[in-house]
Amino acid sequence: MSRSRKHVTLGLDEDVQPPGPGQSIVRALGSRGSNLIAVEFPDGRQTLVLMPAKFNKKLWVKRGGYLLVEDSPAAGEDTKVTGTILSVLYDDHIKQLAKMPGVWPEEFVLKEEKSSIEKLIPPSHIHHDGDEERQAGPADDDGGVSALPQNSNRKVKD
């Protein structure tokens, strides 16, 4: 394993630092090519960011995941690529940043709370029979196997 690739992998275990000047926490909307990722800033602005070559085949970005990006000083109003990815934020990084006051964007907190409430009560364990709600009993038990989470990298067709 090359030295630079080894340090990228080892850097994932370290604690994440809060964003500095010129850095932002953004949400990934999807891939737009080999090293371009469409992102959404907390203010609703959507743009493209560049994934550095050192992350190729080492880090993957999920749709709906969070990234720490650095704004490019050369980016103007007419450029599509406005920054570079510094790191991919995993669940433990998000928890650390959410505990720090004023670091995690408020626009992302509201959507996370809604999804965490839905995760507490899985829809497979509550059945609706008219107005009456009941818990799933042993007759409709699935053998203790929980339902698979929805793949966020696939679009749901209605």
Number of folded domains that form the chain: 1
Pairing mode, if any, of strands 81-89 and 46-50?
A: parallel
In-domain check, residue 136: no
Q: For residue 83, which of 118, 117, 41, 111 has the smallest C-alpha distance?
A: 41
Q: Return d(Cα 145, Cα 30) in angstroms, integer.
A: 30
Q: For residue 91, which of 125, 124, 57, 119 has the smallest C-alpha distance?
A: 119
For residue 90, which amino acid is it? Answer: Y
Q: Are 38 and 32 in contact (CB under 8 A)?
A: yes
In-domain check, residue 46: yes
**Residue 84 is part of a domain; what is its CATH number?**
2.40.50.140
pTM score, whole prediction? 0.64
Segment 84-131, tens digit of pLDDT: 998 889 888 888 888 888 888 888 875 545 555 455 555 555 455 554
Segment 124-146, tens digit of pLDDT: 554 555 544 445 455 555 666 66
In-domain check, residue 39: yes
Segment 1-16, tens digit of pLDDT: 566 666 666 666 677 7
Q: Are 36 and 117 in contact (CB under 8 A)?
A: no
Q: Return d(Cα 18, Cα 99) in angstroms, integer.
A: 11
Measure CA 16 to chain center.
Answer: 15
In-domain check, residue 30: yes
Give the domain range for residue 32: 3-12+20-89
In-domain check, residue 63: yes
Q: Return d(Cα 142, Cα 127) in angstroms, integer.
A: 14
Q: Are 37 and 48 in contact (CB under 8 A)?
A: yes
Segment 64-82, tens digit of pLDDT: 999 999 988 776 677 888 8
Instruction: Give the Å distances, CA to CA, from 87 to 35, 128, 130.
Output: 14, 43, 48
In-domain check, residue 49: yes
Segment 32-73, tens digit of pLDDT: 888 999 999 999 989 999 998 888 877 888 899 999 999 887
In-domain check, residue 138: no
Pairing mode, if any, of strands 126-129 and 46-50?
A: unpaired
In-domain check, residue 102: no
